[in-house]
Amino acid sequence: MENGTHYRTCHLCEAMCGVAIEVRDGHITSIKGDEDDPLSHGHICPKAVALQDLHEDPERLRKPVRRTSDGWQEMEWNEAFDLVADRLHSVRKEHGRNSIGAYLGNPNVHNHGSLVATTPFLRALGTQNRFSATSNDQLPHMLASLEMFGHQILFPIPDIDRTDLFICIGANPMASNGSLMTVPDFRGRLKALKGRGGRMVVVDPRRTETGKLADEFHFIRPGTDALLLMAMVHTLFEENLVNLGHAEPFTKDVDLVRLAAMSFTPEAVSEHTGMPAADIRNLARQLATTQRAALYTRMGTSTQAFGGVATWLAYVLNILTGKLDSTGGVMFTQPAIDLVALGAMSGQNGHFGKRFSRVKKLPEFGGEYPSSTMADEILTPGEGQIRAFVTVAGNPVLSSPNGGRLDEAFSGLDFMVSVDYYLNETTRHADVILPPTAGLERSHYDLIFSMFAVRNTAKYSPALFDAGKDTRHDWQILLELAHRLEKKRKGGRLPLRAEMGWRAFKQIGPDPILDLMLRSGPYGTDIGPARGLAQPAIDLVMDILPKRHPLQGLAKLSPLNRHWQDLPKGLSINALKELPNGVDLGPLRPCMPGRLFTRDGKVNLAPRRYLQDLERLHSLLSATPVDSLLLIGRRHVRSNNSWMHNSQRLVKGKERCTLMINPKDAARCGLQTGDSAEVGSASGQIVLPVEITEDIMAGVVSVPHGWGHHRSGTGQSVAVAHAGASINDVLSDQETDLLVGTSVLNGQSVTVKAWRADHQRKRARPPQGRTLCLSGSNGH
């Protein structure tokens, strides 16, 4: 790689910060924020240095390895592909297609190559036993978008740069840098918001880094957001504050929502939520009476027992107060590659509940079952039991509830393969690990997060380093395996056309596909004066063809669509290569009802399945609030899920994997600063240092996720030296949001007790910060 500064997008989290990477003699000498990036304007967080650490990490795998009785042994790619395809095929032949399980982890969505190759790979696997990080994450948002707007990834994004009131519930963008709201430099944007006289309100069981910057902060008892939001809806109707604004003509079933909210008065929910009724009313009034306002919810409200209803209600509140599709409210993006429209064109708007998982009968979403039932499907004998497993860029042992049980499940498989460049808590169970190139060794275009950003931008970066011949990108690994599996399924040979197709795909890779999507998208090819002639033809097509005809989709998406006429044109990979800092495509703009994908072209405010789930919400209201401690998660700006703890620069300093506990609860449990505590449930126990703080609500304790690197046989020595303990060893996989199937990662009851060195000696327990119960199975 040439000496000099290279610009690209950091792919580690959702914020898409532009980075300027200085390279000298093939080595990175500095990583800074790119001042000219149109979205991040020079902002980066401390994790940006991990781009270098990951790239240079001597423990990052670079060649395939297989497990042998003498430990891990390197192998050649061809041999590895043969072995994996052979084993997967024979399991499939013997036990049927659903005997293979597949889990896709979070980094896949930061990797356009993987995204392009995943569909053919999963098709070749042919299994219905698919899982991903989605069901531990944003699933309720996807369901709400599907049910209300007709497309699973058409998310309303807070227009934070123009809002005057930002209500943030169950999210901590100061640590996470935003989620389903790509918002680099949240702090700077918040400062600007306050500078123009705006305010931020935060509702969270912990006074988080974001909460500390709020103009108004409220504690809420975990898992009760749906009650709070219902009471806000109630207040809007009661006080005549409903005003849908320009969404009124294309929104239906407002009255059903009014009825649904009738009994949820602020007084009725106050005890459960822990929020005074007057504060709830006031919150609803502020939202209604501030013209430019956005209500935003995220992980804390989605991954809990009522995540489905709570997320729906957050959308409802924005709509009832006229914030949807309005400047400074919540808006839809117009990305250069519009996966929403492309998906709709091929009929992939999303689906839910088309089939149910074998053991627990949990609903699929988009063809995936909830990750919380992975262990059930592996451990429960019978027709359709999972016997072989594929993980791609995931670490479910640390990221899914009851990780201990999953750990045990993986250890008993007939065969497992992981596409991952680390030997970690999950991949240590694999028979073969296929390591892809690292982020800086491949080209980058942020297909997914460009769609969720607070401003429309586009950026393409070529690979910064040449990985060398003896390496493979994720997409190459996935396509190669898919091709081989397909061949085996067809008895060793494919028809000539299919064979040519696979070869061509493997030859060209994802970038020409990106290019095509860019050129045919809303900012694509400029046909200049011909536009005057083409437009009437397009309009005619749109008028006479049925609403769901594929050509409608094409017309809607294309640069010719009337909606997009005033957008800049001419985007392609080549054009973007000329603009290494990226290109600004402007602020979010109103685009409704044109961008709706529902059958009747309306926003469905009261989808039936949410109304049906209200009975459950009513029973929460009539139950006595539980007295036990409720466990919630947290994130830290120097950590990213489970896989950045092998960077010394990121893990150094004060211990971060601690149990946060309120002084009142600490006193009740006999805990003092400097002590360790044992946190337990039927799933397992962990021991970790306590951090006594008023920042956490009484009755609530918090543990970050992604830690617990003590398990033997992993290959990340820095992470092992900073092991921490895994919250997911305590969280049960038996609790899901019954509406959606999302894992309940926040609000489960736990026990906390003091853990002292003398106990430790007497009971021969492992040292602090270690998980006690490796298998963690609750033996149900």
Ligand X SMILES: Nc1nc2c(c(=O)[nH]1)N[C@H]1C(S)=C(S)[C@@H](COP(=O)(O)OP(=O)(O)OC[C@H]3O[C@@H](n4cnc5c(=O)[nH]c(N)nc54)[C@H](O)[C@@H]3O)O[C@H]1N2
Site for ligand X in 131-160 (CB under 6 A): 133, 136-137
Which listed residue (37, 53, 137, 407) binds Mo ion by CB under 5 A? 137
**Smallest gap from residue 15 Cβ to ligand SF4 (A):** 4
CA 594 to CA 622: how far, in whole Å? 42
Nearer to ligand SF4, 358 or 638 (CB): 638
**Smallest gap from residue 140 Cβ to Mo ion (A):** 13
* Among the residue ranges 70-78, 129-137, 485-493, 712-720, the one whose residues contact Mo ion (CB under 5 A): 129-137
Nearer to Mo ion, 137 or 431 (CB): 137
CA 414 to CA 27: how far, in whole Å? 42
Burial of 141 (0-12, 13-18, 19+ CB in 10 A): buried
Are 12 and 110 a contacting pair, CB within 8 Å? Answer: yes
> DSSP characters for 582-599?
-EEEEE----TTTT--ST
Which listed residue (6, 7, 8, 15) binds ligand SF4 by CB under 6 A? 15
What's the CA dihedral at 448, 452, 457, 463 to 10 degrees? -30
Query: Out of ligand SF4, Mo ion, ligand X, none, which partner does residue 44 contact, by CB within 5 to 8 A per kind?
Result: ligand SF4
Nearer to ligand X, 124 or 697 (CB): 697
Contact between 359 and ligand SF4 per CB under 6 A = no
CA 293 to CA 516: how far, in whole Å? 37
Which listed residue (410, 421, 449, 707) binds ligand X by CB under 6 A? 421
Contact between 671 and ligand SF4 per CB under 6 A = no
* Among the residue ranges 70-78, 132-140, 277-285, 522-530, the one whose residues contact Mo ion (CB under 5 A): 132-140
Are 153 and 139 a contacting pair, CB within 8 Å? Answer: no
CA 489 to CA 675: how far, in whole Å? 58
Smallest Cα–Cα separation from 271: which of 284, 280, 283?
A: 280
Contact between 13 and ligand SF4 per CB under 6 A = yes
Residues contacting residue 78 through CB under 8 Å, at least 6 positions apart? none
Nearer to ligand X, 146 or 203 (CB): 203
Contact between 14 and Mo ion per CB under 5 A = no
**Smallest gap from residue 639 Cβ to ligand SF4 (A):** 10
Task: Name residue 33's amino acid.
Answer: G
**Smallest gap from residue 22 Cβ to ligand X (A):** 23
Query: Out of Mo ion, ligand X, ligand SF4, none, which partner does residue 10 contact, by CB within 5 to 8 A per kind?
Result: ligand SF4
Are 111 and 393 a contacting pair, CB within 8 Å? Answer: yes
Residue nearest to ligand X (CB): 300
Residues contacting residue 684 through CB under 8 Å, at least 6 positions apart? 402, 404, 729, 730, 771, 772, 773, 776, 778
Nearer to Mo ion, 137 or 407 (CB): 137
CA 515 to CA 574: how far, in whole Å? 8
**Smallest gap from residue 442 Cβ to ligand SF4 (A):** 16
Burial of 469 (0-12, 13-18, 19+ CB in 10 A): exposed
What mask of x and - would describe binding to ligand X in positions 352 to 391, judged by CB under 6 A?
A: ----------------------------------------
CA 224 to CA 593: how far, in whole Å? 32
Q: How many residues bind ligand SF4 (CB under 6 A)?
A: 12
CA 288 to CA 130: how far, in whole Å? 42
**Smallest gap from residue 15 Cβ to ligand X (A):** 7
Q: Which H/E stretch holds residue 754?
A: strand 748-755
* Among the residue ranges 76-84, 137-145, 367-375, 771-779, the one whose residues contact Mo ion (CB under 5 A): 137-145
Contact between 452 and ligand X per CB under 6 A = no
What mask of x and - would describe binding to ligand X in positions 473 to 502, judged by CB under 6 A?
A: -x----------------------------
Q: How many residues bind ligand X (CB under 6 A)?
A: 64
Site for ligand SF4 in 252-291 (CB under 6 A): none
Provide φ and ψ at 618, rounded to 5°.
Answer: -60, -40
CA 478 to CA 448: how far, in whole Å? 19
**Smallest gap from residue 146 Cβ to Mo ion (A):** 19
Residues contacting residue 483 through CB under 8 Å, at least 6 positions apart? 124, 502, 506
Nearer to ligand X, 85 or 242 (CB): 85
Smallest Cα–Cα separation from 652: which of 585, 728, 719?
A: 719
Which listed residue (20, 23, 44, 386) binds ligand SF4 by CB under 6 A? 44
What mask of x and - would describe binding to ligand X in positions 168 to 197, judged by CB under 6 A?
A: -xxxxx-xxx-x------------------
Contact between 684 and ligand X per CB under 6 A = no
Contact between 645 and ligand SF4 per CB under 6 A = no
Nearer to ligand SF4, 17 or 226 (CB): 17
Total residues belonging to the chain: 780
Nearer to ligand X, 639 or 777 (CB): 639
Nearer to ligand SF4, 472 or 634 (CB): 634
Beta-strand runs (E) in 39-107 = 65-68, 71-74, 100-104
C-alpha distance from residue 364 to each of 134, 376, 451 (Å): 12, 15, 24
Q: Which H/E stretch holds residue 341?
A: helix 339-345
Contact between 39 and ligand SF4 per CB under 6 A = no
Site for ligand SF4 in 153-192 (CB under 6 A): 177, 184
Task: Name residue 377's amino acid.
Answer: E
Q: How many residues bind Mo ion (CB under 5 A)?
A: 1
Can you tell me whether residue 652 is helix, strand or coil?
A: coil
CA 600 to CA 150: how far, in whole Å? 10
Which listed residue (6, 47, 429, 710) binds ligand SF4 by CB under 6 A? 47
Which listed residue (633, 684, 699, 708) binds ligand X by CB under 6 A? 633
What are the residue ranges of helices labelled H in 96-238?
A: 112-125, 139-149, 173-176, 186-195, 225-238
State both tokens at 244. Answer: 């849908």
Which listed residue (163, 318, 395, 658) binds ligand X by CB under 6 A? 395
Can you tell me whether residue 396 is helix, strand or coil?
A: helix
Which listed residue (231, 236, 392, 575) binds ligand X by CB under 6 A? 392
Task: Name residue 49's amino acid.
Answer: V
Query: Out of ligand SF4, ligand X, Mo ion, none, which partner does residue 639 contact, by CB within 5 to 8 A per kind?
Result: ligand X
**Distance linking the first and last C-alpha atoms of the chain:** 56
Contact between 106 and ligand SF4 per CB under 6 A = no
**Smallest gap from residue 204 Cβ to ligand SF4 (A):** 20
**Smallest gap from residue 725 Cβ to ligand SF4 (A):** 24
Task: Tell me how many degrees the CA angle 201-206-211 measures, rounded to the nearest 5.
Answer: 30
Percent helix, strand, coil in the chain (nearest 5)?
A: 40, 15, 45
Residues contacting residue 245 through CB under 8 Å, at least 6 positions apart? 322, 323, 324, 326
Query: Out of ligand SF4, Mo ion, ligand X, none, which partner does residue 458 contact, by CB within 5 to 8 A per kind?
Result: none
**Smallest gap from residue 709 Cβ to ligand SF4 (A):** 20
Smallest Cα–Cα separation from 663: which of 631, 692, 697?
A: 692
**Smallest gap from residue 157 Cβ to Mo ion (A):** 16
> DSSP characters for 404-423?
HHHHHHHHT-SEEEEE-SS-
Nearer to ligand SF4, 595 or 638 (CB): 638
Q: Which residues are at the interface with ligand SF4 (CB under 6 A)?
A: 10, 12-13, 15-17, 44-45, 47-48, 177, 184
Q: Which residues are at the interface with ligand X (CB under 6 A)?
A: 13-14, 105-107, 111, 133, 136-137, 169-173, 175-177, 179, 203-206, 208, 220, 222-223, 225, 298-301, 304, 392-396, 399, 419-422, 424, 436, 474, 632-637, 639-643, 705-706, 727-728, 731, 745-747
Q: Which residues are at the interface with Mo ion (CB under 5 A)?
A: 137
